[in-house]
Amino acid sequence: MDQLLYSAEVVLNGLMTGVMYALVALGFVLIFKASGVFNYAQGVMCLFAALTLVGIMNGQVPFAPLLSAITGNRIGTFGFTVPAALAVLLTAVVMVGLAWLINMLILRHLVNQAPIILFMATIGLAYFLEGLGDVMWGADVKVLDVGIPQGISESVEAWTHAVFGYGFFIDRLDIVAAVVATLLVAALVMFSQYTRQGRAMRAVADDHQAALSVGISLRFIWVLVWSIAGFVALVAGIMWGAKSGVQFSLSLIALKALPVLMLGGFTSIPGAIVGGLIIGVGEKLFEFWVGQLVGGATETWFAYVLALVFLVFRPQGLFGERIIERV
């Protein structure tokens, strides 16, 4: 009985972690679907969004070290702080601006190029953004506090203790993340199914030429998609930043999104969610059951091995489009 309850707790925690993975994977799927570009910079976009958010909240002057060096005066902060809600809004605006710039400066010039070229461009973008974030906001580890409750949720513990005689340990941050992710996905689905822009987005994802012929501007749709991906990156950046602080290793969460995508399929939004959940639960359960037999630390590699297995037996992922080669 105890063993079962422990497992249930592990599964729950796995689901919560999975939601966090799914949040990052979502951004990849959005851009890949609409433009066929695998955006290597998605992880760095999360980092950049989180950095910008913290910077705005603390009233930090952008490029402060650079400006100080040039003017000779010490410039640090504006001397005021910005409320979290307003700061999130401002950061969203920055991410939209970034999407527009990426389109104007990079993607526009690479129309009709092979996917590998666009992929290389996003690698360049990733390193550029990382550097830009560094120069703009400084390289120190920052604390992100937008008022999301943290720590063990006592109500869940009390409730499960009363029912099962064993209190579950669930982080309140994880609960908030799950709720936010659910809302975000619902909004995305509503947008892509019911709005004109959403329909245009699906059309562009399917066939560029046909989309042009019915009067859809590719450039507008790309800016739109990158903006949405930027917003998703902001949400993921907030959650991860609140959990483990805003630092440059934040951009590495993109690596955890890769196995999620291989499981769920690169073109499916539900796939990103389900893939994230499977990997979250899978790695926690594996650690719980098998980890102790092999000396632990299975969480670092389990996701990638699972992705490898999928690559061999189902390369399109669970929900991806079947690749049918006509001969």
Site residues for other proteins per CB under 8 A: 187, 190-191, 194-200, 202-203, 205-207, 209-218, 321
Task: Provide the minimum distance between the beta carbon of 155 and other proteins in the complex, in angstroms, as a whole number.
Answer: 32
Residue placing its CB nearer to other proteins in the complex, 76 or 270:
270
Minimum CB–partner distance for residue 218 and other proteins (Å) = 7
Specify which residues 152 forms β-bridges with. 171
- Residue 20 Cβ vs other proteins, minimum distance, rounded to whole Å: 25
- Work out the end-to-end distance of the chain between its first and last CA atoms, rounded to an integer number of angstroms: 56
Pick 172 or 208: Cβ nearer other proteins = 208
Shortest distance, position 215 Cβ to other proteins, whole Å:
3
SS (H, E, C) 187-232: HHHHHHHHCHHHHHHHHHHHCHHHHHHCCCCHHHHHHHHHHHHHHH
Q: What tokens were used for 44?
A: 């760095």
| Residue number, 145 or 321, with CB nearest to other proteins | 321
Q: What is the CA radius of gyration of the chain?
A: 21
CB of 92 to other proteins, least distance (A): 15
3-state secondary structure of 142: strand
Q: Which is nearer to other proteins, 93 or 152 (CB)?
A: 93
Q: Tell me the C-alpha distance between 158 and 88, whole Å.
A: 33
Report CA 299 to chain centroid distance, whole Å.
19
Closest CB to other proteins among residues 195, 300? 195
Residue pair 122/40 in contact (Cβ under 8 Å)? The answer is: yes
